[in-house]
Structure 1
Amino acid sequence: MNLLFTFLLLWTCQGGIYSKEKKPYCTIQTGSVRGREGDSVTIPCWFSYPGYQGNRPNNLRVYWREAKESPCGSNIIIYNHTENWVHGSYTGRISLEGNPKEQNVVSLRIQKIRRTDGPMFCCRLEPEDNGLEPLQSLQGTFIQFPGEFSVQQVDTVPAIEGETTIIPCLVHSAPGGIREVTWRWGDSPMCSDNPNTMKWTSDDRSEKPTEFSLVDFPRDVSLRIKGVAPSHREHYCCEVRVRDKTKCPRHRAGSCSLCAQ
């Protein structure tokens, strides 16, 4: 029960977090959604508030931004739900799914998706009362099309101290096969900020004298951790190189391996 509680608590606050008086509230987005050009896609965004019903704001402004890569930052706003405004390139193709006041859902629906859209989308919420600050997803959600070379990771991996756990790294449509894999880890949710690295290449597949190994390079480049310890409670992400291209999980946050206390 403690493991499940910890897993849910940390997973639900990985998007955009604002904390006041140790009561965090956050937005929640998946790392990616897949779709074909011309399809309609829904980009999920949920949010939470601390405390009881009395903490809910009466008025909530909802925005969506698009960006080329994370973090989302101050990239252009493409949809202002509150004022019913849509950026020109999305006119007639965007709508909001969910009820922000009753369901805590502000998902974005895009019709007739184009390869020039996004490819990353971030939701932003601005409460207008109760002293709550704006909150925005930093990682966002990427749209991925079939046939594109991409790397995908799950948001969170539960683990039990002393056991072996595997952090998945899914590689889609790698042209010419995988040449090199680098795993990064550290305490930052942004992959590139973490200093710890370990690399495997097609020229050197020997086992490394460490608790870290790959499941089956190059077929499966997921990371195996033997003897999970509290010190392994970090953020992990894989970088995959094929020929002259390198790909990371596009939301740049990787996975978080959690240990039971």
Structure 2
Amino acid sequence: MENGSITIPCTYTYREDLPTDTQYTVHWGKPEGQYCLNIKEEIINSSGNVIGKYKGRLSKVQDPTKKHKEFITIKGLKRLDGPIICCEVTRTKDSSEYTWSDNYGTYLHFTGDQSISQLDELIAVPGEEITIPCYYPQETTQADKTVTWYIGDKELCALNKDTIYTSDEPHRSNGYSLINFPTDVSLRIHRFVGSGFTQYCCQVTTINGTLTSRRATELVSVDSAASSQFIVNQPNNIIADTEGSVTLNCSYSYNSDRDVLWVNIYWRINSTHGSYAYHPYQEMVHPSYRGRTNITGSADLHIQGVKKADNASYYCFVMIKRCAGPNQYLQTISYGEGTRLIVKEIPAESLKNLIIISISASAILIILCVVLIVLKATGIICKKKRRPSDLKVNMNDLPDKDGEMCEEMPYCEISIKSPEQELADDNDEVTGQGEMESRRTVDGEDGEDESPLYAKLNKTKLEQKNPTPHPVQGEEIVYSTVLGPTSQYEVEI
């Protein structure tokens, strides 16, 4: 997209036994023609300097996890920045230099370009049916067009000329067909058997001209001979619950003296020929898994939102690209024996009961809270204070000051003295007589607290908090029961 940005990686390898004073530098440029063999315009030179029109828009970063990998990011993209970006590596030892590069570079596609694109590679298991996608502009979907597929051994489609299918003569294309001509011109291989030619190219011709994919799709066949040096391991079974997530483990080991350039991971469903639960290209993932799967760790498959339909076997495929010489590489694939995912579904009746219980419990709690708030607001509840450390209420510890036994309720006054005793105390000059009498009542022979608590309800103060008129004037006496942690008291109010 114009005015957008793009990041292009460059991965390279070299012999580790070369002298330590050998230096390597990465520089970038645009080629003359379709190949990166002849650079006509430098973007970043061998000194690491950004050239000309790319100044201020281009940055270079080395991958911190791999010493043989660098990236460039171009901002504010323009059509003149393309169409091909090449990466070159120069090795310097003393006064000698050697430069090598990727032959074909990275091709920049802009929105609105009239061009065809294909995937770089696909894995192929002998005997399976394979679809090779071909993406082309929607303007070319009219029926009056010819679709041709070519095969060869070159990455550039301009070099592959052997025709294997043409829509003008479909009856002559034994073993091949198009997915849904004319809207989908992807190639279907009915039964892959493997051959010396592995590169497939798509071409579409209309009244407006011919469009050909620049780079071919390589079919990488599973190599049974590689199993001795390339092993993929999976667990036999994993159990998961519906609506949750699960991770299917996969590990691999590879023994070779060749440097590994990169690794791709694939997961297939039910068989080694099955659909993809995960693929580096999202368009290849089965619709029911698209957006729900990703790779964690080195090769583990993580599935989100597990469904009953996910109950299946999953096969882990690992593709390794390794160096085979100057500007040459080989790709090897191996796969595991499969992991059975057992999905446990919560019974509908149990789920329904769980929901009902949860709703009922919540409703009861809400009702209780409302009742308690109403009772406290109307002054019906008057809690007697006690120290947190007290395990049992001791009547001897109760103070005889009014108002200390309620929680900030000035209209509720509690005392251990009866109204008669308080009246007598007002006329009695001898202090302590009433208190001694109360203590004799509290500390009975059986050690139980049997003395009542007396609470006076001051209606004048109560009406200041709750202005509802009361029909009876003065003070009233009612009886209630107060439950303590270990005792029961009768409270005379």
Q: Normalising to structure 1: TM-score of the pair?
A: 0.73
Structure 1 residues 75-123: Cα deviation after superposition (integer angstroms, max 9, x where no partner): 3232235413333222222221224894322222111111122211010
Question: Which residue is equivalent to 1:78?
Answer: 42
Structure 1 residues 120-145: Cα deviation after superposition (integer angstroms, max 9, x where no partner): 10100112249994320111111112
Alignment partners' CA distance in 1, 2:55 and 2:184: 42
Alignment partners' CA distance in 2, 1:132 and 1:161: 44
Structure 1 residues 43-76: Cα deviation after superposition (integer angstroms, max 9, x where no partner): 22222335x5868875212111214752222132
Q: Which amino acid aligns with 1:196?
A: D
- Flag the structure with more relative contact order, 1 or 2, with Cα contacts below 8 A and sequence separation at least 6: 1
User: Is the CA contact 2:120–2:216 (under 8 Å) kept in the aligned structure 1?
Assistant: yes
User: Is the CA contact 1:39–1:111 (under 8 Å) kept in the aligned structure 2?
Assistant: yes
Is 2:4 aligned against 1:39? yes
Is 2:154 aligned against 1:188? yes
RMSD of Structure 2 on Structure 1 (CA):
2.9
Q: Which moved more, 1:110-119 or 1:61-70?
A: 61-70
User: Is the CA contact 1:232–1:259 (under 8 Å) kept in the aligned structure 2?
Assistant: no
Which residue, 86, 107, 116 being the options, matches 1:151?
116
Q: Which moved more, 1:98-107 or 1:189-198?
A: 98-107
Question: Unaligned 5+ residue runs, structure 1?
Answer: 1-35
Q: Give secondary structure in 2 for the equivalent of 1:144.
A: coil
Report the number of matched residues: 221
Alignment partners' CA distance in 1, 2:163 and 2:19: 42
Q: Give secondary structure in 1 for the equivalent of 2:158.
A: helix
- The structure carrying a bigger helix percent of its residues is 2
Is 2:28 aligned against 1:64? yes
Is 2:166 aligned against 1:200? yes
Which residue, 69, 88, 103 being the options, matches 2:52?
88
Structure 1 residues 131-182: Cα deviation after superposition (integer angstroms, max 9, x where no partner): 9943201111111122222211111111111221111211234346361211
Q: Give secondary structure in 1 for the equivalent of 2:43.
A: strand
Alignment partners' CA distance in 2, 1:215 and 1:176: 14
Change over 3 Å in CA distance of 1:84–1:258 after alignment to 2? closer
Decide which structure has the larger Cα Rg and report it.
2
Question: Which residue is equivalent to 1:140?
Answer: 105
Question: Unaligned 5+ residue runs, structure 2?
Answer: 224-493
Alignment partners' CA distance in 2, 1:106 and 1:211: 42
Question: Which residue is equivalent to 1:108?
Answer: 72
Question: Which residue is equivalent to 1:174?
Answer: 139
Is 2:217 aligned against 1:255? yes
Question: Which residue is equivalent to 1:6?
Answer: none
Question: Which residue is equivalent to 1:20?
Answer: none
Q: Which moved more, 1:165-174 or 1:134-143?
A: 165-174
Alignment partners' CA distance in 2, 1:156 and 1:187: 13
Q: How does 1:118-133 map to 2 (within 5 A)?
A: 118-129=82-93, 133=98
Q: Which amino acid aligns with 2:212?
A: C
Change over 3 Å in CA distance of 1:119–1:190 after alignment to 2? closer
Deviation, structure 1 residue 185 = 0.6
Is 2:206 aligned against 1:242? yes
Is 2:128 aligned against 1:163? yes
Alignment partners' CA distance in 2, 1:159 and 1:225: 10
Which residue, 83, 92, 98 being the options, matches 2:62?
98
Change over 3 Å in CA distance of 1:198–1:230 after alignment to 2? closer
- The structure carrying a bigger strand percent of its residues is 1
Change over 3 Å in CA distance of 1:65–1:81 after alignment to 2? closer
Q: Normalising to structure 2: TM-score of the pair?
A: 0.41
Identity level (%): 29
Question: Which residue is equivalent to 2:194?
Answer: 230
Change over 3 Å in CA distance of 1:74–1:168 after alignment to 2? same
User: Is the CA contact 1:183–1:236 (under 8 Å) kept in the aligned structure 2?
Assistant: yes
Change over 3 Å in CA distance of 1:132–1:218 after alignment to 2? farther
User: Is the CA contact 1:148–1:173 (under 8 Å) kept in the aligned structure 2?
Assistant: no
Structure 1 residues 14-40: Cα deviation after superposition (integer angstroms, max 9, x where no partner): xxxxxxxxxxxxxxxxxxxxxx21112
